């Protein structure tokens, strides 16, 4: 019976240690998400702007391709504005440009 309780205690200790390590890893990775979101958003804006310019040059500014990329570019700008608004809500008084 003593062997069973010893094994059970060992398993519980290992589980607790693994849970604590996982919690620390998850908490340590959270702050980088905001910077990555902003970088991804800026990349998306640059990409859609490039594709819009290409479509305007190749097909004209009133083509369906140019309208599509203009729409995608506007959505990228809206997403950036949403991130700025969300950031300002968490960090009042900070000017994020």
* pLDDT at 86 > cutoff 90: no
Cα separation, 96 vs 84, whole angstroms:
7
Contact at 8 Å (CB) between 69 and 57?
no
Say what the pTM is.
0.57
pLDDT tens string 1-18: 565 567 777 776 777 766
pLDDT tens string 34-83: 567 778 889 999 999 999 999 999 999 999 999 999 999 999 999 989 88
Determine the pLDDT at residue 56: 96
Contact at 8 Å (CB) between 56 and 66?
yes
């Amino acid at each position: 019976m003593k062997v069973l309780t010893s094994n059970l205690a060992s398993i519980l200790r290992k589980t607790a240690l693994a849970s604590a390590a996982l919690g620390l890893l998850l908490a340590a990775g959270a702050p980088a998400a905001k910077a990555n979101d902003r970088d991804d958003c800026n990349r998306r804006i640059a990409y859609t702007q490039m594709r819009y310019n290409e479509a305007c040059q190749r097909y004209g500014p009133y083509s369906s391709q140019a309208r599509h990329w203009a729409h995608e570019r506007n959505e990228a700008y809206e997403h950036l504005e949403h991130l700025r608004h969300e950031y300002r809500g968490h960090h009042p008084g900070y000017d994020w440009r």
